[in-house]
Structure 1
Amino acid sequence: MDQRYRLPVKSILLFGALQCASGAMIIGGWEAKPHSRPYMVSVQQNGTHHCGGFLVADQWVVSAAHCYTAQSTPYKVLLGAHSLSDSESTKQTFGVAAIYTHPDFNIEINYDNDIALLKLDGRVSLTKAVQKISYQRVSGDVPQGTVCSTAGWGWIKNVGIMPDKLQEVNVTVIGRETCCSRRYHGNRITGNMMCAGDRGKDSCHGDSGGPLLCNGLVEGITSFGGMKCGKPLKPGVYTVISRYTDWINKVMNQGSKY
């Protein structure tokens, strides 16, 4: 299962039987205008990009649960970045005080409920380069054919090339019935997931946890896709964020694991 972030070889072999891979990067996209997506987050380990995320409150980031199942070193959260390597005055870095993965996250079979909340160890300073983003709170499906966008610092080619600067791409929503068909992802697609992609355009390894925006709202969280990104019958799969409004509110209000 393409979890849209880079996995050690052992993990790739473990999930390979599912015919989907985890971790994602932007395929077929382009470099974003610097700081045009001020909600974007790079979650890092040892100074290296690990997964994406997006800022929803002064001290809270939404990401994908599968990114945090095998923590070995502490995470840092980088905000206000366009280039990961350049010394940009807009950057803010925080530690992670707590990670809350959804209690029903299903890593064994199909990555259902692939959502996590990261509580930062401090409150961000909101600037032009660091801003919160709104997410969909009304349950429902984005209509098939809707053109949405996603972004990240994940692979830009299927050979593992990682960009230094934020990339973005437009992808088209694919109906759940189509995405559930055997030619696509089959019965691993649940009502908590949505699919989006176009031939040669996709999220990819390293993009996991980033947002899928439709009509200005976050509708999805980058989760998984095909073993090779950008293939027309294996589009990107995104967690439908509106299914988790109550859980998000509960965690952020009480700050406890559930």
Structure 2
Amino acid sequence: MLLLLLLTNAFVLLPWAGAGRIIGGTKVKAHSRPYMAFLEIKSGSKPSWCGGFLIRPDAVLSAAHCVDMRWRPRVTVILGAHNIRRQEKSQQRIPVVKRVIHPQYSRKDGKNDIVLLKLKKKANITGNVQCISIAKENERVSAGDLCTVSGWGQTSKKEVLSDVLMEVELEVKNEEICEQLSSNFQCQSMICVGDEDSKKATSHGDSGGPLVCNKKAYGIVSHALKKNHFAEVFTRISHFEPWIQKQLKRFSRKAISCFPFSD
């Protein structure tokens, strides 16, 4: 899946080799995560894939490293999918017309790893396609909180992309764990997540997918730490919420509502 760019203290997931993997997860009920987006990315001769999530009918959040390429990629968002290898009637394929990468994003150390994608047309909100709320500026998760990550990535190092959406439950860890593993870890803008038993992970990806806690997106899959393959770094959405809202206003001056996902 995603190739690994080895850094001094961490490795960042590179997008051009794939979308990532869910290890130790389970299949989700079809269309039970209607906010999930599958990103098809074409730059040069080789396609790649990433995850993302719908936060407004015209906007998807993902990781900047998914679309930060030398040649401007053509990105298509697929919404309403469960089995990505089938043309399900529920699926909506919408091209991306604008990508807004955070101005302080650093490919070298994975800082500010966030991108907002503007869709060519608004998604049709249905039972299979819905938005998810994002954490506000003052909202944070705490160590010990259990959250989930969904994706279509590999289920083991030897597997190919999963046909159907998978999900894994991970625990928010004490920030000191990631600080000890990487000098690049920033508490303010990153979340430390992992599994003490080393049986569950998204270590090679699900890049761009959401860390969902209590039906709200708090993080974005960013990168893993090389000294502990099951200590992972997620972009902290609450830190970037003011920036996200500013970009959404630029997308459309009119307020666009989207009733958030709920079970």
Task: Report the TM range for the smaller structure's normalisation.
Answer: 0.7 to 0.9
Q: 2:51 matched to 1:52? A: yes
Q: Is the 8 A contact 1:100 1:118 kept in 2?
A: yes
Q: Is the 8 A contact 1:153 1:206 kept in 2?
A: no
The whole-number CA distance in structure 2 between the counterparts of 1:74 and 1:94 is 11
Report what 2:107 is aligned to: 107
Secondary structure at the aligned position of 2:133 is classed as: coil
Q: Deviations over 1:166-212 (max 9, x none)?
A: 1100001101112211xxx3211102111112121111434111000
In the TM superposition, structure 1's runs of 4+ consecutive aligned residues that sit over 6 Å from their partners are: none
The whole-number CA distance in structure 1 between the counterparts of 2:226 and 2:27 is 24
Secondary structure at the aligned position of 2:40 is classed as: strand
Q: Is the 8 A contact 1:152 1:168 kept in 2?
A: yes
Q: CA deviation at 1:139?
A: 2.6
Report what 1:216 is aligned to: 215
In structure 2, relative to structure 1, the CA distance for the partners of 1:16 and 1:33 (3 Å cut) is: same
Report what 2:33 is aligned to: 37
The whole-number CA distance in structure 2 between the counterparts of 1:17 and 1:138 is 31
Q: Deviations over 1:132-156 (max 9, x none)?
A: 0001103353111111101111221
Report what 2:83 is aligned to: 83
Report what 2:256 is aligned to: none
Secondary structure at the aligned position of 1:187 is classed as: coil
The whole-number CA distance in structure 1 between the counterparts of 2:175 and 2:110 is 16
Secondary structure at the aligned position of 2:183 is classed as: helix
Q: Tell me the matched-pair count.
A: 240
Moved more, 50-59 or 15-24: 15-24
The whole-number CA distance in structure 2 between the counterparts of 1:227 and 1:32 is 29
Q: 2:190 matched to 1:193? A: yes
| Aligned counterpart for 2:13 among listed residues 5, 22, 33 | 22
The residue type paired with residue 11 of structure 2 is: C
The whole-number CA distance in structure 2 between the counterparts of 1:48 and 1:83 is 18
* Structure 2: unaligned runs, 5 residues or longer: 15-19, 253-263
In structure 2, relative to structure 1, the CA distance for the partners of 1:123 and 1:140 (3 Å cut) is: closer
Moved more, 14-23 or 49-58: 14-23
1:51-70 to 2 correspondences below 5 Å: 51-70=50-69
Q: CA deviation at 1:16?
A: 4.7
Moved more, 245-254 or 18-27: 18-27
1:227-246 to 2 correspondences below 5 Å: 227=226, 231=229, 234-246=230-242
Report what 1:116 is aligned to: 115
Secondary structure at the aligned position of 2:238 is classed as: helix
Q: CA deviation at 1:158?
A: 2.2
Q: Deviations over 1:230-257 (max 9, x none)?
A: 84xx41210000001111111110139x
Q: CA deviation at 1:48?
A: 5.7
Secondary structure at the aligned position of 1:177 is classed as: helix
Q: Is the 8 A contact 1:21 1:227 kept in 2?
A: no
The whole-number CA distance in structure 2 between the counterparts of 1:141 and 1:251 is 22
Report what 1:252 is aligned to: 248
Q: Is the 8 A contact 2:182 2:225 kept in 1?
A: no
Report what 2:257 is aligned to: none
Secondary structure at the aligned position of 1:33 is classed as: coil
Q: CA deviation at 1:161?
A: 2.7
Q: Is the 8 A contact 1:226 1:235 kept in 2?
A: yes
Q: Is the 8 A contact 1:49 1:153 kept in 2?
A: no
The whole-number CA distance in structure 1 between the counterparts of 2:121 and 2:157 is 36
Q: Is the 8 A contact 2:211 2:220 kept in 1?
A: yes
Report what 2:135 is aligned to: 136
Higher strand share: 2
**What is the TM-score with the length of structure 2 in the denominator?**
0.84
Moved more, 80-89 or 47-56: 47-56
**What is the TM-score with the length of structure 1 in the denominator?**
0.86
RMSD: 2.1
Moved more, 22-31 or 209-218: 22-31
The residue type paired with residue 191 of structure 2 is: M
